[in-house]
Structure 1
Amino acid sequence: MNSISKTTINFLKDLKQNNNRDWFANNKSIFESEQKLIKKFYVSLQEKLKEHDEIESLKMFRIYRDVRFSKDKTPYKPHFAGNFVRATNKLRGGYYLRIRPGESFLAGGFWEPNKEDLLRIRKEFEMDTSEIREILNNPTFIKYFGKLEGESLKTAPRGFDKDHPDMDLIKMKQFIVTRSFTDQEVLSPDFLDEINKSFKAMRPYFNYMSEVLTTDLNGVSIID
């Protein structure tokens, strides 16, 4: 399955307009059919990814929402989404793709790094940002992703000089890259290749972050 079907987009549009259990129950067979189609697309993308990266697994997310602690009580997510896990503890970062009418996007990076990883990244930036800035300023990176995204602290993290010249990076709490797509782009026959090229363009960033997160500040490996 090398392309997204228009029926998939139409189903998701209908679900957004009729996000209730009765409608979903009456259209369960359509959902199951579209779910099978989209899973085939993600599997095809996984095979593409394996040509240039080590992928351990594909996880497709459930369409059912957990509404227990949410103000939004709609029971279903009007999108399909999945992520690809990189293999071994030496390869950090992961690939994510969401298909949602008018709001489709891919993403990769580090959404909620644990406190140890976050400190290690900040210490690396405190010491030297020349390599990461070279990656972020690369024309290919800018073409696909624009810039590094994510939430930041309002002030310097504890223990860091507030006047450090690289405080813009040190303050970050998340380190994410994204690319959005229109419905026309999602339905185009080259969408699979475009996603794959985007994920491939993340590799220099992933390679850098993997090196940082698997070594100490002297560059010595901290994993077996």
Structure 2
Amino acid sequence: MAATIDKTTLDFLADLTRNNNREWFNENKKRYETARKNYIQFLDEMLEEMAAFEPVALEQKGKDLVFRIYRDVRFSNDKRPYKDHFGAYVAEGGRKSIYPGYYLHLAANNNSFVAGGLWMPPSDYLKAVRQEIDYSLDEFKSIVEAPDFKKRFGSISGEQLKTTPKGYDKENPAIEYLRFKSWNAVMPINDKTVLSAGFMNVVLDAMKALKPFYDFLMEPLKEIGQE
């Protein structure tokens, strides 16, 4: 039987959203630990299943991919001490990787989602992906504009330049994709689905659908990694 997300896990995240302070968190530390354990158990099974179609999941462990619940508030106007969600990034090199990957965001109030792509890469990676899109626009469009992909993820999202990237013409047929500084595909998931027995399959099916997108973004970065 596939691992599931307990209702108590979403309940904890909902309560944390309303009570994001240290006193409340310390009083509910056991609830946090139970919820985190549930999320990690789900991730461990997800990784096992993912390995059948995505080698990057091999030998990864859920506990190593989960981001810390504690927010870094040093340079932020938002001084809430805790994140109101659990998040894990599956990528070559683990959760701090600068490579493309897959992300599972678990949050209350219908704010969960599965996502994949490349988030704010360093400049040499950014240039390499832009070049790949420019050279292989038809292939890229066949992935991100495929009806099934658009039905799941909608349009590609991510921060974009307001101007044209250096070295490219504004009339370039790929310009709408070249302006991106991150390329992300996001599929929202409601609480009812998260708590259903079929949630694991929903997540795995989404990640299978993300695989060609991941492969495209990863391909031009392999050579950089070998330099």
Deviations 1:86-138 (A, max 9, x none): 379xxx52111111112111111100111111112222333341110111122
Give the superposition deviation at 1:215.
5.1
SS in structure 1 at match of 2:149: helix
Superposed CA RMSD in Å reads: 2.0
* 1:62 and 2:63 correspond: no
Q: Which has the larger radius of gyration?
A: 1
Which residue of structure 1 aligns with residue 198 of structure 2? Answer: 190
Cα distance in structure 1, aligned partners of 2:36 and 2:223: 41
Cα distance in structure 1, aligned partners of 2:80 and 2:218: 38
Moved over 6 A (4+): none
Which residue of structure 2 aligns with residue 7 of structure 1? Answer: 8
Give the superposition deviation at 1:192.
0.7
Cα distance in structure 1, aligned partners of 2:52 and 2:92: 13
One of 195, 210, 226 as aligned partner of 1:223: 226
Which residue of structure 1 aligns with residue 107 of structure 2? Answer: 100
* 1:200 and 2:208 correspond: yes
Q: How does 1:74-89 map to 2 (within 5 A)?
A: 74-86=80-92
SS in structure 1 at match of 2:71: coil
Q: How does 1:120-131 map to 2 (within 5 A)?
A: 120-131=128-139
* 1:43 and 2:49 correspond: no
Distance 1:128 1:95, change over 3 A: closer
Cα distance in structure 2, aligned partners of 1:110 and 1:205: 10
User: More deviation in 69-78 or 122-131?
Assistant: 122-131
TM-score of the superposed pair, with normalisation by structure 1: 0.89
TM-score of the superposed pair, with normalisation by structure 2: 0.88
Cα distance in structure 2, aligned partners of 1:36 and 1:124: 40
Q: Percent identity?
A: 37
Give the superposition deviation at 1:75.
1.1
Distance 1:87 1:65, change over 3 A: closer
Cα distance in structure 1, aligned partners of 2:42 and 2:152: 21
One of 133, 157, 165 as aligned partner of 1:157: 165
Number of equivalenced pairs: 216
Task: Supply the AA of the counterpart residue of 2:8.
Answer: T
Give the superposition deviation at 1:43.
0.9
SS in structure 2 at match of 1:31: helix
Task: Supply the AA of the counterpart residue of 2:106.
Answer: I
| Unmatched runs of 5 consecutive residues or more in structure 2 | none
Cα distance in structure 2, aligned partners of 1:149 and 1:97: 16
Task: Supply the AA of the counterpart residue of 1:100.
Answer: A
SS in structure 2 at match of 1:214: helix
Cα distance in structure 2, aligned partners of 1:209 and 1:15: 35
Q: How does 1:113-152 map to 2 (within 5 A)?
A: 113-152=121-160
Cα distance in structure 1, aligned partners of 2:185 and 2:40: 24
One of 152, 176, 185 as aligned partner of 2:184: 176
| Unmatched runs of 5 consecutive residues or more in structure 1 | 217-221
SS in structure 2 at match of 1:202: helix
Task: Supply the AA of the counterpart residue of 1:133.
Answer: K
